[in-house]
Structure 1
Amino acid sequence: MSQRSMRALRRECEAGLADLPIPAPFGIPELVANMEAARGRRIVLRELPDRLARVNSACGLRLKAGETSFVLYRRRPTTYQTQHVILHELCHEWFDHGTSLDAEQLRRLLPVFDTSLISRVMESGTTVQARAQYDTHDERVAELGASLIPRMAREVPSDDMVGRLANSLARPVAHRRRGFFLRDFFRRD
């Protein structure tokens, strides 16, 4: 992807996330609650048990049916990676991305599920997205959005004592190149 198209994708993503109700302090359950209130849809997060996970199965999956969206995710080696998978699927929800998988792709990504179950899900008109490939525009938007949300969350001011302390420690008084240094004090002009 060229620099120009990456910048355009970032602008598109930032514009789409501008109204995302990011909680302060940030947390996935709080973000989900805010998204539910903003969109009027129920969002259910569920971790896929290890016994259902396969090496080539999806890291995350979003099923959108009726007034409820289900976000299924596999626990990753680190908390950060698991959060990223969840945020990726929540970005699909926020941007209201449509179906991007067919029944055969879903069967390959979720081999532990019965073929008839997958067929019924697909025939019911349920929107299905799985985090396993990144070659579509929707996947790129969701992937970038999952990276931007934690950064945006750090910029949300918090009124509680812990939030104010974290905010003050996260932003040093001066940038090193612009700061006051001892050598500047002894400089001869």
Structure 2
Amino acid sequence: MKNFHHSPSIRQMMEAMGLKSPAPIQSRLKHLQKKGFISWQEGKARTLQIVDDVLVGVPILGSVAAGGLIETFSDVNENLDISEVLQKKDIFALTVNGDSMIDACIADGDMVLMEPIKDYYAIKNGTIVSALVPGLGTTLKYFIKKGEKIFLEAANPSYEPIELNLDNVVFQGKLLAVWRKV
């Protein structure tokens, strides 16, 4: 593709692989697109593009002490695989405003990656959720259910729990990861 400045056609790929039908090519292209390796518009000629710099992992170079000094090992050959988080369907990011979750290591200005909640009844106590209270706003808090009541609890003793009925709140997502730029 880079030598010719355009992608091969489906017909050219069929000929190169000795296939008589475009279906196997299209199936493979859809699979590669779903994984994020290519972009492609089915039915349009020569729209196949390789996605640059596909990130499959971040090298783990060892460990570091946050207390005293420890010996590090530089021969570690592992990657922190973040592809599973990024491949979840419909994940979204939110910017954190405020310090109510500071004791959960979520600070003002952090980005949180959230996974949509499909079934409210499957939320486990202690899950960090993004909740919308119609007419009042949204918040990031621990989900706690006690009987018929829902409590949205902060990770900062300066904030009181928010007590709600289940029909007064919409759960937007549950926490997957926290991203902090320094």
Q: Whose RCO is larger (CA < 8 A, sep 6+)?
A: 1
Task: Give 1 or 2 for the bigger CA radius of gyration.
Answer: 2
Same structural fold, with TM-score higher than 0.5 when normalized by the shorter chain: no
Q: TM-score range by the shorter chain?
A: under 0.3
Higher strand share: 2
Higher helix share: 1
